[in-house]
Each structure stands twice: as C-alpha cells, then as structure tokens.
Amino acid sequence: MISYELEPSDKNIRETLIRNTLGRNDGIVSFVELLNVIDGNSVIAIDDTWGSGKTFFVKQIHLVLKSCFSSMEEDMEIRQKVVAGINLEESKKYIPIYYDAWSNDNDCDPVLSIVNEMLQELAVLKNYELSDIDWNKRLKTSVDLVIRCFGGPSIKDFLNALDSEDPLKELRKTKEREQILDELFNVILQECGEKTRIIFFIDELDRCRPDFAVKVLERIKHYFYHENVNFVISINAKELQHTIKRYYGEEFNACKYLTKFFNFTITLPLPNYENYYDMLDFSHRSYIRDSLAEYIIKYYNFSLRDITRYLQVLRIAIPKRYRGCEYDAVKMFYMEVIVPFLLGLKIHNINQYEEFIHGENGKVFIEMMQTGCADRYCRVLLNDNETFTAINNGKNSVSLEERFYVFYNAFFGIDSRGALNYNEVEIGKNRFLTSDKKKWIMDVISFMAINT
C-alpha cells in the first residue's frame, strides 16, 4: 500500500503512474506529444502552486521517457506496465535528466552539478539499446574540459576579470565554454542515434537561494543552447518572481525577466480527486465530518499536499473510535463541524485561524456556511420548525449570522473571557456548555485531547 504521506519516491512514482492514481496520465501523454512536435532548443515552464504535484508530474514523465527508450536496470514487466499505463503510441527518443535545483543550491555554479546529473543518468541508461559504448572513455576528454572551464577557481577568476580593463578577452572564454558544452552534447547524441534529444527536468527552482536560482536560469540560456537539448522547469511563477526580486531589487520587473527564458508555459492537469481520496482511505464520506471535510477541501481549493496534510491531522484529532459514542447533537457539532473547520482554516490561513479562536473573526465560518450547506452542518442551532435557507418549505427562516454569533461569542468572543464557571447558552432547541468545551476543542486541535 502506498504511504499515506505519498512522498515522491521511485516506488510511489511508479505505482501512481501504473495505477493512474492522480488521474494525470492523459496529461503526461499530451506533454510527451508536445515534446515530440518541438523542433530546436526550447525551455518549457510547468507553473503551478506549491503542493500541486509538480515534482510527481515531472518525475512521472522522466520515468515514462526512460521506460520508452532505455534498457533500464528495471524489471522488464515493470517497464511494460509503465508504458501500457499511459497508452503512449509513439515517441521520439529522449535522454531524460532530472535535476533537483534545491538540493544543489550550495554549489558555486550550477553548470557542474547539472552536467554531473547528466553523467550519472548516462551511467544508468548506458545501454540505450544501441551499440556497446564505453562512456567513461568517450566522455573523459569533454568532461575534463567542462571541469576546467566551470570549476570554482576558474569561475571566480572569470567573474573578477570582468571588472578588469580587458573584459572582452574573458568574454571570448565564455564562448569557449559554450563550444565545450556543445562538444559534450554532440559526443553523447552521436552515439545515441539520429533524432535523439536530451531533456533536462529542473525541479524546485523557486525554493533555491535567489543568487543560485538566477544563475540556473542564466547559465541555461547562455551555455546550454543546443538544437537537440530541451529544458522543462517546474516552478511556482509567483514565488519565483519574489525570489528574483530579492536578487535584483523590489523594483525589478521579474515577470518580464522570466518571459525571456520560457518558450512555453503550461499548468498541471487537474488531478482525479476521487482516486486520490481512495488512496488516502477517504472513500466513505457518509459521516458529517467527512462530508464537511470534502466540502472544506473544495471551498479552500486545497492542493494535493494540503489535502494529504488535512486528512491526516483530521484523522489524528478525531479517531474513528469516537464515532461509536452515543449520539448527542451538540457533541457531534463540536466534533464533526467545529473541529474539522478549525483544522482546515489553520492550514488555509493561519492568521484567520488565530483571529477566529481569539474571538475577532467569526465571519469566515459564516461565509463558508452561507454557500448553501448551513442547514446540514449547523442544524444544531435551529428549532425543528426553522431553516437557514431562503426556500423555507413552511419553516421559519432565521439568520445564520445571528444564531452563530451567539455561539461564537460565548465560545471565543468577549462573553467567554475571564469566566471561572461553566457557562451555558441556549440556541435553538439545544443548550451549549461553553467554557469546558472550548478547552476540549483546543486540546483536540493540538492533538492533546484524552477523551470526548
């Protein structure tokens, strides 16, 4: 069974691809087809929010290209399942290289670590279903040149020399570096067959130090311009713009700067939420708590990472054993509505959460409930002949805002502060004990509640 945390491990990448757990296999096929029609050097940006699954997506494409092309050191049956799982009829040949920029941002210069990732990938894909190639022998001369030209001391000398009286002399060396990388790519591509392309997947760039993120972009533009080399860079464009501004200054036009680097910008296809819920063992949503949790996920537009985190903390805060307790409308309102709401709000916006629990912002709950689900989730605040909806079906329409604020002020507002004894408030047909239950709710949120 896949880990509840769903880390982007090799096993999880493979299994979610074979089973189409995220429902993005059609998007992977479309992306590979896009690669197939691109001619010449290009840079594609995959732009989406943090936690949306960009790393999973690019690693799955990376695995698909390896499975379609190389003689991986993988079980043949697994390779066949991967290829069959995406139903890709035809593809060009690619040498896919995955590069985690964040894990390399302590490097002086990204060129060496990018080249190093490529050479490690070649060691894994060394057979290529072609002739037997001695890669160490073939690449030794080119790699030695790259190391000499892009090593730490020479880069430092190069940058210092740009401030000298003869910077043009050093710019000519820059051109030499371009030619050396071209030679390296040509050596690889000549041995891999006609129409083979090298494709680099640059991940986690927006998490890097500002100076390193800028270096990656600018080194790619200046040194990796080869007609059979492509880059796919997964980013959160909004966060990356902040990163660039921290490097060049807040007045710098980071948006225009990024357009210089990307030929195409695409967003991730929407995931299959039902498949994802099933994988997280969230497939039985008949309970009020689970139904509200699904509603909160949609209302706050949670990312896949947020969904995983939310369902996990909800499961910890309210274990299933509490569902067997004797039904009590007020107790269930605390446990099945207030707690799921607070946990979701805490993930969505920690500032609004702090305002809510300190009695300063009850409207966030009212706004969410007024979208059409108040009668279901807040029925405990009503009498039998009352409703919160405009269509009353013979019942009396009452204000959700007025009823909820009676509860909210008693629990979190000024009415609750400084109380030494248990306070009781009557709303609709139910009575609510406030002081002791507020403590219990906050203990649940902090995972410290012993019992209900």
Would residue 361 count as lying in a domain?
yes
Residue 43: pLDDT band (50, 70, 90) is very high
Q: Is the pLDDT of residue 162 over 50?
A: no
- pLDDT tens-digit map of 13-31: 888 888 888 888 888 888 9
Domain termination site, one of 266, 293, 312: 266
Alpha-carbon distance values, 125 to 72, 75, 97 (Å): 6, 14, 10
The rounded Cα 44 to chain-centroid distance in angstroms is 18
Nearest partner of 226 among 41, 37, 38, judged by Cα: 41
Q: Is the pLDDT of residue 232 over 80?
A: yes
Distance from C-alpha of 186 to C-alpha of 221, rounded to nearest angstrom = 18
How high is the pLDDT of residue 452?
44
Question: Which pair of structure tokens corresponds to residue 351?
Answer: 């500032």
Residues near 125 by Cβ (< 8 Å), separated by ≥ 6? Answer: 66, 69, 70, 71, 72, 95
Burial 315-337 (b: 16+ CB within 10 A, else e): eebbeeebeeeeeeeebbbbbbb
CATH of the domain at 254: 3.40.50
Could you tell me if 123 and 226 lie in one domain?
Answer: yes
413 against 162, higher pLDDT: 413
Could you tell me if 236 and 321 lie in one domain?
Answer: no
Could you tell me if 45 and 68 lie in one domain?
Answer: yes
Could you tell me if 104 and 228 lie in one domain?
Answer: yes
Cβ neighbours around 191 below 10 Å, total? 17
Q: What's the mean pLDDT in 57-74? A: 75
Q: Is the pLDDT of residue 164 over 80?
A: no
How high is the pLDDT of residue 424?
78
What Rg value do the Cα atoms of the chain yield, rounded?
29
Residue keyed to tokens 């690449």: 139
Highest mean pLDDT among 55-69, 317-331, 411-425: 55-69
Question: Which pair of structure tokens corresponds to residue 387?
Answer: 């409703």
**28: helix, strand or coil:** helix
Would residue 292 count as lying in a domain?
yes
How high is the pLDDT of residue 414?
61
Could you tell me if 300 and 358 lie in one domain?
Answer: yes
Could you tell me if 261 and 340 lie in one domain?
Answer: no
Helix (H) / strand (E) element for 138: namely helix 135-150
Could you tell me if 358 and 427 lie in one domain?
Answer: yes
**420: helix, strand or coil:** coil
Strands (E), 86-195: 94-100
Could you tell me if 128 and 253 lie in one domain?
Answer: yes
Could you tell me if 79 and 222 lie in one domain?
Answer: yes
Q: Is the pLDDT of residue 194 over 80?
A: no
Could you tell me if 304 and 434 lie in one domain?
Answer: yes
Would residue 168 count as lying in a domain?
no
Could you tell me if 297 and 238 lie in one domain?
Answer: no
Residue 52: pLDDT band (50, 70, 90) is confident
How high is the pLDDT of residue 346?
94
- pLDDT tens-digit map of 67-85: 776 554 455 656 666 766 6
Would residue 423 count as lying in a domain?
yes
Beta strands 430-433 and 42-47, pairing class: unpaired
**What is the domain extent for residue 116?**
10-133+182-266
Q: At what angle do helices 167-192 and 135-150 cross, to 10 degrees?
A: 160
How high is the pLDDT of residue 331?
84
Would residue 171 count as lying in a domain?
no
Residues near 392 by Cβ (< 8 Å), separated by ≥ 6? Answer: none
Would residue 139 count as lying in a domain?
no
Structural domain tally of the chain? 2
Residue 8: pLDDT band (50, 70, 90) is confident
Residues near 110 by Cβ (< 8 Å), separated by ≥ 6? Answer: 101, 104, 212, 215, 216, 219
DSSP per position, 347-368 = HH-HHHHHHHHTTS-THHHHHH
Q: Is the pLDDT of residue 142 over 60?
A: no
**306: helix, strand or coil:** helix
Q: Is the pLDDT of residue 109 over 70?
A: yes
Helix (H) / strand (E) element for 257: namely helix 254-259
Domain termination site, one of 207, 234, 266: 266
For the chain, percent of residues with pLDDT exceeding 70: 73
Residue keyed to tokens 């501004």: 245
Sign of CA dihedral 435, 440, 444, 447: positive
Q: Is the pLDDT of residue 273 over 70?
A: yes
DSSP per position, 40-99 = SSEEEEEE--TTSSHHHHHHHHHHHHHHHH---SS-HHHHHHHHHHHT------EEEEEE
Residue keyed to tokens 């006609």: 194
Residue 354: pLDDT band (50, 70, 90) is very high
Would residue 1 count as lying in a domain?
no
Q: Output the average pLDDT for the chain.
A: 78
Residue 135: pLDDT band (50, 70, 90) is very low
Q: What's the mean pLDDT in 222-226? A: 86
Residue 3: pLDDT band (50, 70, 90) is very low
How high is the pLDDT of residue 214?
92
Would residue 210 count as lying in a domain?
yes
Distance from C-alpha of 148 to C-alpha of 143, rounded to nearest angstrom = 9
Question: Which pair of structure tokens corresponds to residue 236?
Answer: 């959160």
Could you tell me if 228 and 91 lie in one domain?
Answer: yes
Domain termination site, one of 266, 289, 311: 266
Q: What is the 3-state secondary structure (H, E, C) of 179-247?
A: HHHHHHHHHHHHHHCCCCEEEEEEECHHHCCHHHHHHHHHHHHHHCCCCCEEEEEEECHHHHHHHHHHH
Distance from C-alpha of 452 to C-alpha of 442, rounded to nearest angstrom = 12
- pLDDT tens-digit map of 294-335: 999 999 999 988 999 999 888 888 765 454 445 678 888 988
Beta strands 229-235 and 42-47, pairing class: parallel
Residue 284: pLDDT band (50, 70, 90) is low
How high is the pLDDT of residue 123?
63
